[in-house]
Chain A
């Protein structure tokens, strides 16, 4: 298990070398070092996972360094490896290694490559520290470390104002969650006297039913702590209310979206709930809240995903929605199913993002799907990879037999929600079914808009730019950034609002504008092909380990396992087993009808829905709401506190008032001021003399 040291610290070392070496080191060296490090980490991680899979490994902890010991509070740097960690290890290192490789192609025109690769490796290190944490504070270290890397990568194209804004938004919104996480850690320490995860989990059941004072009222202890910690999870995993940063995070380069905002970082919240599952189990209220928030998120994000035009934003909302599934699975006690979905989702969502990146790459940084169309003949490998990803996310498969990755994990979640028998479980089940319908719709909509129909490229500014500029390829990388400004907000785009006045799909003719999309280079296709394998087989191959009667042997206590839930899952009625498949087919048909068969249909539906459509299209107005109730008041209060309070009151009646009094008593204010120093020294001297004399006299 000493390999874990290499797995975790090699990416850090690579990040430091590539980051500090930067231009002196050169692009190729920096890329080779970071990518090489990640492939080594990946190669060392799989054997660990397979050992746990085969039941040959035991949980272990490798101490690294003392960190803090203050009174009774101690926490050290240490690397914990158990089944849960092993699952995360392979997810993180595999996706990260593939994303590193993919970026060789995707970022090849970028002048600032070493910095990009250094950030990617730094992110991987922080994520690995998070999942190997043996105490809550180290988890928080990783938690904040991935936040930093995410901030840097979202703001990678820092010249773009929108990238800078999105980076800050991601960090600050996450910090709202961190407030909960930190208070949760404090509460845990207060109650258990330790921040060591195994010790807390051991003692947690004994705390069930106890009460604690918090903010002037009395609550159930474990409910308070779990909810506080869950607020942290909500921030990192973009759950409803704290999700607003995730769509904006698409400002970052697409490989970043695949690694951080789909496969790994955003799943940290799910990981945390699973890691602390014995704690959550002690509070029914907290579990219900987790399930409820997850269910609402999966529904909410799916609705928004149905309306967006930006290919990356559709996938971003889809990620948000899928994270909702994982949370409600955890909330009904099906932690194995939650982790299973996390595992399969990492592969197919990274695939979808990297596939989208390949499309964007071939379409000269155009991200608006209204300007796509008919691409399947031009970029066939990307098309097949995206199709594999879509088959996986929509859960295509035959109940009781086999299917793509998402089929196994999503169905397990829905069956568990239904099988749990609780009210919130039932709510989550129906929300999940509704979301599955929409998932199928928006995923196929994406495929149809992008790969089918006639090309609609000519109206894209990016494409026009590319055609005009066909020979000046050298300064593209530079131009693209300025150009991307158009893509950051759908409203600012050449295509006007709401799609209703967008390009008319029924207008045919040669829409290519003379542009010829090219398939991406091999370094980009290879990761797509490998991830496609994951999207196709990961569900079928690993279902027995993650969700079955034998699950307990796989997890070995790394998370709470309810055998009765497994039985309940098997015992659900047949209609429940077939419901996901039915809605999937329904979604596929609707998307086919609206985006292949009858192109005027979506517009008519949008017009019919009117304000509801607008509300959903504007992402349920969360950004507008938060700007009104948080951002603008913060600045307003800042000004008031500064100008009215500090200057208007404190200074006026404090030093300025005193100055006024003094100046009144003296004809020459100047003299008074310059004379102060000496009088001050004098006062002090007199004071000391007086003091001493008094002491002598006394």
Chain B
């Protein structure tokens, strides 16, 4: 496998297909898009199979110097691998979700999606900080188009809001990147990850990156673009937005903020905890009162992303691995939930919860899968949602019991708003004749939700498949963070009389 530019190929396949789609009629554009995304999925599987778990930190590296320091440098570690897998897994589902529901300008639509795929993968494989920046920011452009052209009635406002929020952050981040490259003398991400910046400067750099990542995440209170964007975006747009684009903020934290600015990260950890606690409580309560299905799930995403940020800033392996798993799980589950909304939206053309009801009667298969994803969103053990949430919360408990307590209330509130949604849509009697006449899942839909369902259960029952590739990377990050790690609030103190050997065991346990 060595030497074969598989990462470049993964970037190229959707890009070439995107160009082709621009010139094709609707029917062939759909086929080309599906084939291209499936090829990328196959390449992703090849990548995973060939990824040497426990081998070198950076694998599949490619490097071409362009001009003075700026280079086309690609490479992945386990963290990037998993997020790439998530992207290539969700893309064919997005194309499938758009198969019938998109009727105007299909070629351009598919081109936009394929371009998003290239850019997403680009974000995760880029090893040059400016290359990363280009992918990171350019990814918004096709997304902006998808919402603005194929979105709902209020799409212009939504896309504008989406854009305005992200603009501010990206400018600040760019300035910070320039400073970093200037100081460290390298544009290489792996080198920068091991460069020790002056802690005083770190503060400013951290804040500049934070401005960008917090919006992308999104963290409270810079989250209001998300519900607007989701509500207006077509189904597949929501799937990819929730599934992968939201993960870029988390990826940014784990790839840049934490390893490059450990002292500043520790310094600002209480800020992140505070915002996360606010997000869990506030956005969960907001989700409870929504009448619009997509808005409800969008708000729940903000609450879930807060579990990612507390895990990242817990400064221990459980927190870090937990937040990675929450990201992967949320990618699958919220994508699946948006897909579930899209499936009934295609039939009834409304997102208003009250228009549905009693779907368990006429759509039993749909009810089953919707239940599975609802439970995964709630974090039921055995589904993907649990493992990450549990590790993240367990991680933060070691750092701050208050934060853990407040954020764990998310399991109560999450159950409340998701089950309330499920009850109104699936339970109850059939109130509306048109909702009662909806047919159950067809083969295309069954394949899509079935694939997501299996992935959700796999990650819940045997998450080792997903933890193993990143274990070494997380351990390396944890080691790098160790010097700045904030002391937890537990401060276990032994009682007066105790056998010596048990004290030793207990101290081991406390770490």
Contacts and interface: CB of A to CB of B under 8 A. Distances in A.
Interface of A: 22, 65-73, 77, 137, 140-141, 144-145, 148, 151, 155, 158-159, 161, 163-165, 167-168, 171-172, 175-176, 178-179, 182-183, 185-187, 189-194, 203, 205-216, 221, 634-635, 637-639, 641-642, 645-647, 650-651, 654-655, 658-659, 673, 676-677, 680-681, 683-684, 687-688, 690-692, 694-696, 698
Nearest to B491: A213
A696 B68 contact: yes
A176 B412 contact: yes
Nearest to B410: A179
Given A168-B416, A193-B511, A65 B321 contact: no
B412 A22 contact: no
A440 B509 CA distance: 50
Given A158-B426, A159-B358, A193-B511, 20 more contacts: A67-B463, A70-B322, A72-B317, A137-B381, A159-B429, A161-B428, A176-B412, A178-B412, A186-B393, A190-B398, A216-B402, A221-B492, A638-B286, A638-B287, A641-B286, A642-B289, A654-B165, A654-B224, A673-B156, A680-B163
Contacts of B471: 69
A172 B416 contact: yes
B213 interface: no
A259 B224 CA distance: 46
A208 B499 CA distance: 11
Given A155-B427, A203-B506, A208-B495, A187 B397 contact: yes
B423 A168 contact: yes
A12 B175 CA distance: 57
A214 B490 contact: yes
Contacts of A71: 316-318, 321, 475, 478
B412 A68 contact: no
Contacts of A645: 221, 282
Nearest to B286: A642
The 9 closest A-B pairs by CB, nearest first: A209-B495, A193-B509, A206-B502, A71-B317, A186-B397, A638-B289, A141-B381, A638-B285, A158-B427
A205 B499 CA distance: 10
Contacts of B398: 186, 190
A215 B141 contact: no
Contact of A191 (B68, B382, B506): B506
Given A638-B285, A641-B286, A694 B178 contact: yes
Nearest to A670: B156
A190 B285 contact: no
Interface centre among B170, B404, B467, by most A CB within 10 Å? B404
Interface of B: 67-70, 130, 133-134, 137-138, 140-141, 144-145, 156, 160-161, 163-165, 167, 170-171, 174, 177-178, 181-182, 187, 221-222, 224-225, 282-283, 285-290, 316-318, 321-322, 358, 360-361, 364, 375, 380-382, 386-387, 390-391, 393-394, 397-398, 401-402, 404-405, 408-409, 411-413, 415-416, 419-420, 423, 426-429, 461-464, 467, 471, 475, 478, 488-499, 502-503, 505-506, 508-511
Contact of B411 (A72, A164, A175, A186): A175
Contacts of B475: 71
B286 A179 contact: no
B420 A168 contact: yes
A676 B415 CA distance: 40
A434 B453 CA distance: 52
Nearest to B131: A688
Contacts of A163: 427
Contacts of B495: 207-211
A168 to B, nearest CB: 5
A164 B404 CA distance: 31
Contacts of B497: 209
20 contacts: A67-B463, A179-B411, A179-B412, A183-B401, A183-B404, A186-B398, A189-B509, A193-B510, A203-B502, A207-B494, A211-B495, A216-B402, A634-B416, A642-B289, A646-B286, A650-B221, A655-B225, A681-B138, A690-B178, A695-B187
A183 B390 CA distance: 10
Contacts of B478: 71
A547 to B, nearest CB: 32
A634 B285 contact: yes
A297 to B, nearest CB: 21
A433 to B, nearest CB: 36
A193 B509 CA distance: 3
Nearest to A674: B156
Nearest to B412: A175
A66 B463 CA distance: 9
A352 to B, nearest CB: 29
Given A71-B317, A650-B221, A677-B141, A641 B285 contact: yes
Contact of A691 (B130, B167, B428, B506): B130
B225 to A, nearest CB: 7
A434 B461 CA distance: 47
A148 B412 CA distance: 14
A249 to B, nearest CB: 15
B137 A684 contact: yes
Contacts of A176: 412
A178 B177 CA distance: 44
A642 B224 CA distance: 10
Q: Is the interface of B mostly helix, strand, loop or mixed?
A: helix
B311 to A, nearest CB: 11
Contact of B463 (A68, A194, A655, A676): A68
A69 B391 CA distance: 10
Contacts of A186: 393-394, 397-398, 404
A182 B408 contact: yes
Contacts of A144: 380-382, 386
Contacts of B493: 210-212
Contacts of A221: 492
Contacts of B182: 694-695, 698
Contacts of B144: 677
Given A176-B412, A189-B394, A194-B509, A635 B289 contact: yes
B503 to A, nearest CB: 7
Contacts of B502: 203, 205-207
B134 A190 contact: no
A171 B375 CA distance: 11
Nearest to A677: B144
Contacts of A637: 285
A655 B429 contact: no
B67 A691 contact: no
A68 B492 contact: no
A73 B405 contact: no
A695 B70 contact: yes
B24 to A, nearest CB: 24
Contacts of A68: 387, 391, 463-464, 467
B141 A680 contact: yes
A68 B322 CA distance: 11
Given A645-B282, A691-B178, A158 B381 contact: no
Interface centre among A68, A161, A178, A698, by most B CB within 10 Å? A68
Contacts of B402: 215-216
Contacts of A694: 178, 182
A165 B282 CA distance: 24
A209 B409 contact: no
B130 A692 contact: yes
Nearest to B129: A691
